[in-house]
Amino acid sequence: MSFLRSRLSFFAILLGFCFPSFGDDSAVSDRALMQTLESFLQGASVNDMAVHDRFWAEELVYTSSHGIRYNKAELMEYLQSEKQDEEMPSVQYRALDTNIRHFNDIAIVTFTLVAKSAEEENRFFNSGVFINREGRWQALNWQATRVAQ
């Protein structure tokens, strides 16, 4: 019995060396991704172009809730034209029910986006694929789907 116990202890220690802090790394990545998302939503609420530029990866494929697909350059051009339209109502964005799944330096983030203006509130199911490069998360792929009324 003690032989079996010593073998199990050995394997437990070996596993500890092979996967040193998987849970802690995931929790740190979750916090970093949540912070990235929250900062982005705050910046998007005021159409901050620098925030958009940092958030979207160069290889971005963005599919809007209207069924229009953009790359990063096209999306940035569209956002710049929106910024100049002073008659657009102010919209505040926030995320609900955020779910993060990690795959090494890639993460899939899903959440319900709440877009609230003085006139209305809309909700969208958003999905993003993020990549971590040099300690910074950026969105590679984005899908927005309007929640049915």
Range of the domain at 139: 22-146
Q: Is residue 102 part of a domain?
A: yes
Q: Is residue 14 part of a domain?
A: no
Q: Is residue 106 part of a domain?
A: yes
Q: State the average pLDDT over residues 97-118.
A: 96
Beta-carbon contacts of 62 under 8 Å, excluding residues fewer than 6 positions away, are 56, 69, 70, 71, 72, 75, 141, 142
- The percent of residues in the chain predicted with pLDDT above 90, rounded, is 66
* CATH number of the domain encompassing residue 65: 3.10.450.50
pLDDT at 89: 61
Domain count, the chain: 1
- The percent of residues in the chain predicted with pLDDT above 70, rounded, is 79
Q: Is residue 42 part of a domain?
A: yes
Q: Is residue 62 part of a domain?
A: yes
Q: Is residue 142 part of a domain?
A: yes
Q: Which helix (H) or strand (E) holds 62?
A: strand 56-63
Whether 13 shows a pLDDT value over 90: the answer reads no
Calculate ∠ Cα 5-7-10, nearest 5°: 110
For the segment 56-99, what is each residue's pLDDT rounded down to a tens digit?
999 999 999 999 999 999 999 988 887 655 566 689 999 999 99
CA–CA separation, 91 and 86 (whole Å): 13
